[in-house]
Amino acid sequence: MLGPRLLNMDGDLGRHLTVGSYILDSGKIPTLDIFSHTMTGKPFTPHEWLTEIIFSLANRWLGLTGVVFLTSLIIALVWYLLSFEVMKRSGGFYFSLVVIIIGMAASSIHWISRPHIFTYIFLLLWIKIYSSNLFIFKKCAALALLMIIWVNSHGAFITGIVYIGIDIAVHFISSIFSKSINKDIHQFKKSILIFLIACGALLINPTGFQILGTVFNFLQNRYLTSQTLEYQPPNLLAPSFIPFTIFLLICAYYLFRFRKHIKLVDAFQIVIWSIFGIISARNIPLAIIVGLPIFSFYYGMKNKVNNAINNEKSTSSRNEFLNPRLAIGIALPVLISIAVFVLVIKGPGMIQRNEFLPTKFPLKAVDYIIANPIEGNMFNEFTWGGYLLYRLWPEQKVFIDGQTDFYGEDLTREFADVYNANINFEDILNKYSVNWVIVRQRSKLAYELEKNPGLWMLDYKDELSVIYSRK
C-alpha cells in the first residue's frame, strides 16, 4: 500500500539500481567512479554492492513493483522476528502488541527502498547470535559470516561493531567493581575475541581497509552530515516523532522501575542507542531494534509465572522448533505474503502505481532529453542525481548525487555555491565544463540563468523543472 512512498521519499534508489545493473551486466564491482563527470576515475568504495544487485534483480523481475515487494518483505521479516522475540521475552500478548505498534510507528519514518533496510535484519540477527548460548567458536563463525555479508551490503555494518564495543566496555567496568571478577573477565575475553574476529571479517570487501576510512570520514564531517536530512536530530515533539518519544519514555520507566535488578550492560545498551536516536533520526529504527527486546524481558520479570515459562522455554530451546504451534506461526505469515504478492501482481493498476512520481522527479524533462540529446556535462539537482543515472547513464554522467560520502565536502560545497547562485557559480560551472543545467524551476540558479539570456538558453520547462544550455 505504501509502494509510491517507499520509492519516492528518497532520491538514491535510481543510483542503486544503476550500480546493480552495471555489476550484473559487466560482472565487475566498480572501485573507481564511472557515474559522475566531476569525480571520474577517483577511488570509489562500493559498500552497498551486494544489496544493489538484489534491488536490481527485483527491478528486472517485476519493475519497481518488485523493488517495493522486496522492501516490504524485508521490513515485514524484521518486525515478525522482533515481535516473536518480544512475545517470548515479555510473556504478555497485549504488552507486546502495544510496544510493537509503537516501535513500528517510530521506525516507519525510515522505511524507504534503500540498502539500509537490510541493516535492520542484520542487526537483529547479530544481537540474537551474539547473546545466544552457542559454543564460542560456532558463535564467532556465525558472526564472521554475517559481517562479511553485512559489510558488502550497507555502510551501517559499523553498528554491529559498536554493539559489541558497548558490551566490552561494560564488562571491563564490571570486572573492576564486581565481586564475581572471574565471571566478568571470562565474558570480557570472549567479547574481545568476537570483536577482533568481526573486525577481521569486515575487511573482506572490494576495497579492504578503505571502507573504514569512507565510513568514519563521512560521520566525522559535520558539513556533510548537516546536508543530509536523515542525519539531523529529530524534533521529539513533532507528530512523526511522537512514537519515538513514547518509546524513550517507556525505556526511562523500565530503567527506573528495575534500577536495582537491571543488568548494567542492558542499561548501557538502551541508554546509548536511545542517545544515538536522539542525535540522528536515521538511528531511530536501530534504537528500537536494540531496546524493545531488552525492556520486554524486564516487563516479563514482573510475573513469576512468566519467568517460569521463560526458563522452561530456555531449557528446552532445542525442542522448540518441533513445536507444531511454532510451525504454524512461521507458515502463516509466509502464506499471507504469497497471497498478498499474487494480489499485487494480478490486481488492476497495482504495478502501474509503483513508479517515480512526476511531482518528485523530472520525468517529463528526462523524456525530453532522451528525445533531444544534449551534449556536454550536466549540472543537476542534488536529489535528482540517482534518478538521472537511472534514466540517462551511461550516455550522461551526473554532476553529483546523494552519495556524499564519496563526493566529499569540497564538491558538495561547490554544488551548493552553484545551486544558490553565489558570486562564484559561473567559475565553478566553467571548472567542470558544464554545458547544460537541469534544476527545479523555482531554484535560485534557474532564476539567475533566466536573467542572463545572452549566455544561457531555455531548452525546456514544465511545472517542476527547467533545462538551460549554453549558447
Per-residue pLDDT tens for 44-99? 999 999 999 999 999 999 899 899 989 999 999 999 999 989 998 888 888 888 99
Residue count (the chain): 471
Confidence of residue 134 (pLDDT cuts 50, 70, 90): confident
Residues 137 and 281 in one domain: yes
The long-range contacts involving 214-222, CB below 8 angstroms and separated by at least 24 positions, are 214/45, 214/47, 214/155, 214/405, 214/406, 215/47, 215/155, 215/158, 215/405, 217/405, 218/404, 218/405, 221/409
CA 382 to each of CA 175, 400, 419: distance values in angstroms, whole numbers, following the listed order: 50, 6, 9
> Three-state secondary structure along 166-221?
HHHHHHHHHHHHCCCHHHHHHHHHHHHHHHHHHHHHCCCCCCCCHHHHHHHHHHHC
What is the average pLDDT across 312-322? 43
Residues 375 and 311 in one domain: no
Residues 311 and 367 in one domain: no
CA 317 to each of CA 89, 100, 132, 141: distance values in angstroms, whole numbers, following the listed order: 13, 24, 11, 21
pTM of the model: 0.88
CA 24 to each of CA 15, 60, 99, 245, 373: distance values in angstroms, whole numbers, following the listed order: 14, 11, 41, 43, 26
Cα within 13 Å of Cα(223), Cβ side: 10
Cα gap 277→110, rounded to integer Å: 12
Residues 380 and 304 in one domain: no
Residue among 335, 451, 436 nearest 392 (CA): 436
> What is the side-by-side strand order in the sheet with 377-380?
377-380, 434-440, 465-470, 456-461
The long-range contacts involving 128-135, CB below 8 angstroms and separated by at least 24 positions, are 128/85, 130/163, 130/164, 130/167, 130/194, 133/317
Element (H, E) at 469: strand 465-470
Amino acid identity of residue 250, one-letter, is: I
Residues 151 and 277 in one domain: yes
Q: What phi, psi does 468 have (nearest 5°)? A: -115, 145
Domain contains 326: no
Percent of the chain residues topping a pLDDT of 90: 62
Query: CA-based angle 287:292:298, to the nearest 5?
Result: 130
Residues 143 and 282 in one domain: yes
Residues 380 and 297 in one domain: no
Cα gap 60→62, rounded to integer Å: 6
Residues 152 and 299 in one domain: yes
Buried b / exposed e over 325-364, threshold 16 CB at 10 Å, is: eeeeeeeeeeeebeebeeebeeeeeebeebbbeeebbbbe
β-pair partners for 378: 436
What is the average pLDDT across 383-409? 94
Residues 137 and 210 in one domain: yes
Strand 465-470 to 456-461 pairing: antiparallel
Give the count of beta carbons closer than 10 Å to the beta carbon of residue 313. 15
Domain contains 431: yes
Residue 331 has pLDDT above 80, yes or no: no
Report how many domains make up the chain. Answer: 2
Residues 88 and 201 in one domain: yes
Domain contains 167: yes
Residue among 255, 272, 252, 78 nearest 165 (CA): 272
Residue 339 has pLDDT above 90, yes or no: no
Q: What phi, psi does 319 have (nearest 5°)? A: -100, -5
283, 317, 351 - which closes a domain:
317
Residues 303 and 211 in one domain: yes
317, 350, 382 - which closes a domain:
317
Strand 377-380 to 456-461 pairing: unpaired
Does residue 253 sit in helix, strand or coil? Answer: helix
Domain contains 325: no
Give the count of beta carbons closer than 10 Å to the beta carbon of residue 120. 25
Cα gap 17→59, rounded to integer Å: 8
Domain contains 334: no
The residue written with cell numbers 516507519 in the block is 108
List the grid coordinates of 216: 568514519
Pick 427 or 298 by higher pLDDT: 427
Residues 416 and 267 in one domain: no
Confidence of residue 176 (pLDDT cuts 50, 70, 90): confident
Query: Which CATH number does the domain housing residue 373 bear?
Result: 3.40.50.12610
Angle, helix 158-177 to helix 116-130, in steps of 10 degrees: 30
Confidence of residue 468 (pLDDT cuts 50, 70, 90): very high
- The answer to whether the CB of 102 falls within 8 A of the CB of 139 is no
- pLDDT at position 151 is 96
Domain contains 209: yes
Residue 306 has pLDDT above 60, yes or no: no
Q: What are the respective helix, strand and coil percentages of the chain, to the nearest 5? A: 70, 5, 25
262, 282, 317 - which closes a domain:
317
β-pair partners for 468: 437, 458
- The answer to whether the CB of 434 falls within 8 A of the CB of 415 is no
Cα gap 299→314, rounded to integer Å: 17
Q: What phi, psi does 354 have (nearest 5°)? A: -90, 90
Residue 180 has pLDDT above 80, yes or no: no
- pLDDT at position 353 is 76
Tens-digit pLDDT profile for residues 365-392: 999 999 999 999 999 999 999 999 999 9
Domain contains 344: no
Instruction: Give the range of the structural domain holding residue 395, as residue numbers without chain letter.
Output: 363-470
The residue written with cell numbers 533545462 in the block is 467
Domain contains 329: no
